[in-house]
Amino acid sequence: MQTQMGQTQTGQIQTGRVWKFGKNIDTDIIIAARYLNTSDGKELAKHIMEDFRSGFAGLVAAGDFIVAGENFGCGSSREHAPLALKEAGIGAVLAPSFARIFYRNAFNTGLLILEVAQSDIDAIAEGDTLTIDLLEGKIYNRTQNTTYAYAKIPPFMLELLHCGGLMPYAQKQIKEQKGQK
């Protein structure tokens, strides 16, 4: 998936537009239970946030960001939610905190999520253009000319992102191990 700066979705630098949501956005809001009869990410992507913001999936451009309040991804534990966001082209989700299972499922599916201070989340407005630089560990708000920090991502989790998720990471490890024999 390409972002406005031409980097891959899990590349080092991403630029996109902000879509703002409140706190406690649960997995049923991200992808309604009635769509869980498929694990096809492209199909799921057509229905993200559908019951919360009608037509949202059609508004999102590849590389856009969701900026939300605390406890993003709470509710039932389903990989469908981060998979749907990733397949819809969401470049990253920024929030002060994430539900624990969603946090892990996001990295397992290759969706970038960043823990950002609530005061910074409050300062970011819908429609702002952000650039995330994973090498520098900073978020640049191009609209407001401000910079934000985020909680450091452990190296293993970064590697999961760069591989595209847990399954591609495991496949890479297996290939490397076979090559050593």
Tens digit of pLDDT for each residue in 135-179? 889 999 999 999 999 999 988 899 999 999 999 999 988 988 888
Identity (one letter) of the amino acid at 109?
A: T
Tens digit of pLDDT for each residue in 38-94? 888 899 999 999 999 999 999 999 999 999 999 999 998 788 999 999 999 999 999
Locate tokens 């799921």: which residue? 44
Q: Is the dihedral of CA 166, 171, 174, 179 positive or negative?
A: negative
> Strand ranges (DSSP E) for 23-165?
65-67, 92-95, 113-115, 129-133, 138-141, 146-149
Identity (one letter) of the amino acid at 53?
A: R
Identity (one letter) of the amino acid at 133?
A: D
What does DSSP assign to residue 53? S
Domain boundaries of the chain, sorted by first residue: 13-180
The pLDDT score that the predictor gives to residue 78 is: 80
| Per-residue confidence band for 11, with pLDDT thresholds at 50, 70 and 90 | low
The pLDDT score that the predictor gives to residue 1 is: 31
Q: Cα–Cα distance between 29 and 41 in angstroms, integer? A: 16
Tell me the whole-structure pTM to 2 decimals.
0.89
Token code pair at residue 10:
């899990």
User: 2 pLDDT exceeds 80?
Assistant: no
Tens digit of pLDDT for each residue in 80-134? 999 999 999 999 999 999 999 999 999 999 999 999 999 999 999 999 999 999 9
Task: Tell me which residue of 162, 157, 124, 117 sits closest to 141, measured CA to CA.
Answer: 124
Instruction: Fold for 13-180, please state it.
Output: Aconitase; domain 4 (3.20.19)
